[in-house]
Amino acid sequence: MRKLKLKLGSNSYEIIIGWDLLQQMARLLDVAGLRHDVVIITNPVVEQHYGNSLNQNLLQEGFKFSTLLVPDGEAQKTLKTAEQLYSRLADLHVERTTSILATGGGVIGDLAGFVAATYMRGLPLVQVPTTLLAQVDSSVGGKVAVDSGTIKNKIGVFYQPRLVLTDTATLQTLPAAEFSNGLAEVIKYAVIVDKLFFAYLEENMQRLRAKEESCLEEVIFRSVKIKAGIVEKDEKDTGLRNILNFGHTVGHAIESASDFKIKHGEAVALGMLAAGKISLRMGLFNEGEFNRMKVLLQMAELPARLPEIPLARVSEAIAHDKKIHNGRIRFVLPKSIGEAFVSDEVSLVLIEEVLSTWHE
Ligand SMILES: NC(=O)c1ccc[n+]([C@@H]2O[C@H](COP(=O)([O-])OP(=O)(O)OC[C@H]3O[C@@H](n4cnc5c(N)ncnc54)[C@H](O)[C@@H]3O)[C@@H](O)[C@H]2O)c1
Ligand SMILES: [Zn+2]
């Protein structure tokens, strides 16, 4: 078991990473000073795999708990579902000291986190992430939100959890495609700030994809440490946190131009390659390092080929991106493996050129 603390003054919290933590849930909640009264918000997929072991542990330790199920899928990340959850919380007569256990992937984390942040002006929130993406990314940093219309995460707040409990054993049941989705964010962290971590991933990708216990723990710990370090310096996303958008400007645009048929991690992988190509053209990155990035993404079963999507829609989506300031795109570029920076020098024309000549 590994622990690290995200230091944000009175909003500080611990992130605990380890195998079979669900079976120790009650004790860990107790150590964190939380009351023995919890509401688990989860979905039927996660409930089916892990409901029993979690419930058993809470029962044994005399916890009072209820489980609220939300159907699976991003389509549930809405104010409508949040409202349904509010009324179920009201039916349960929850008090302000009742903790919400957001148990699932990023969809559950964002939705249950948003509900916890807003119900009665805030209930204690415990993130219990069960996808790799949620474990290395969405459970850490306090962004919670629901979607509105076609705009993802449009309605949200910053609300830090009281505790993050990451049970790495839950990844055993995660489908391979979802695992790769999370690996895109892992590789992102390595490229932007940590060349030793990148080398570790190059050496251990097989073990990682085989979900070996010690390897999972190491990789999740190192990823979370990087994200936590950045969040500590920029809790409300006003500057430094921008670096975490590496691969995401083009990535988000590819996702939306494909009507979300291309998964987030796949789109981010392509976005990282696009950023690499742009940086190469600007003479700021080198071919050898670009190829290492490409090979590692392929080892993670992530795409390197641009799929058939209308490029006009991709550039339109980039042009509408919120990361544009005064007509300039804030773009994260790799300088070398382990170092990236935010540039205002990337034009839409250059991005279009790189996308249209992708396979040359
Ligand atoms: N708040 C943030 O900072 C932040 C950061 C990144 C992404 N996000 C959000 O995260 C969401 C994506 O999260 P995700 O990729 O985890 O998707 P997800 O929550 O939809 O989970 C993916 C699939 O895996 C299933 N699943 C979850 N745990 C499982 C397990 N242990 N075994 C088997 N199946 C399991 C889910 O039921 C779902 O079908 C998006 O809504 C995105 O906006 C938020
Ligand atoms: Zn992402």
d(CA 150, CA 111): 16
Q: Which of 78, 107, 226 to mutate to test the pocket of ligand 1 (most atoms within 8 A of CB)?
A: 107
The reported pLDDT for the residue numbered 329 is: 85
Q: Which of 45, 52, 157, 189 to mutate to test the pocket of ligand 1 (most atoms within 8 A of CB)?
A: 45
Q: How high is the mean pLDDT of the chain? A: 96
CATH code for the part of the protein at 2-174:
3.40.50.1970
Q: Which two tokens stand for residue 280?
A: 């190469």
The reported pLDDT for the residue numbered 323 is: 64
Q: Which residues line ligand 1 (CB under 6 A)?
A: 43, 45-46, 49, 72, 74, 77, 104-108, 110, 130-131, 133-134, 137-138, 141, 143, 152-153, 170, 173-174, 178, 181
Q: Which CATH architecture has domain 196-356?
A: Up-down Bundle (1.20)
Amino acid code (one letter) for 219: V
Q: Do domains 2-174 and 196-356 have the same CATH topology?
A: no
| pLDDT one-digit tens code per residue, 82-112 | 999 999 999 999 999 999 999 999 999 999 9
124 has pLDDT over 80: yes
Atom 18 in ligand 1: which residue has the minimum CA distance? Answer: 105
Name the 3-class secondary structure at 71.
Answer: coil
The CB density around residue 326, as the number of other CB atoms within 10 Å, is 5
User: Do 80 and 146 form a contact (C-beta atoms < 8 A)?
Assistant: no
| pLDDT one-digit tens code per residue, 247-305 | 999 999 999 999 989 999 999 999 999 999 999 999 999 999 999 999 999 999 999 99
Q: Which two tokens stand for residue 63?
A: 């916890």
Q: Work out the average pLDDT over 51-79.
A: 97
Q: In what order do the strands lie in the sheet with 13-18?
A: 2-6, 13-18, 163-167, 125-129, 99-104, 37-42, 64-69
| pLDDT one-digit tens code per residue, 153-187 | 999 999 999 999 999 999 999 999 999 999 999 99
The reported pLDDT for the residue numbered 359 is: 82
Predicted TM-score of the model (pTM)? 0.97
69 has pLDDT over 70: yes
Q: Where in the chain are the domains? A: 2-174, 196-356
Q: Provide the sign of the torsion angle of the four alpha carbons 274, 348, 235, 128, taken in this order.
A: negative
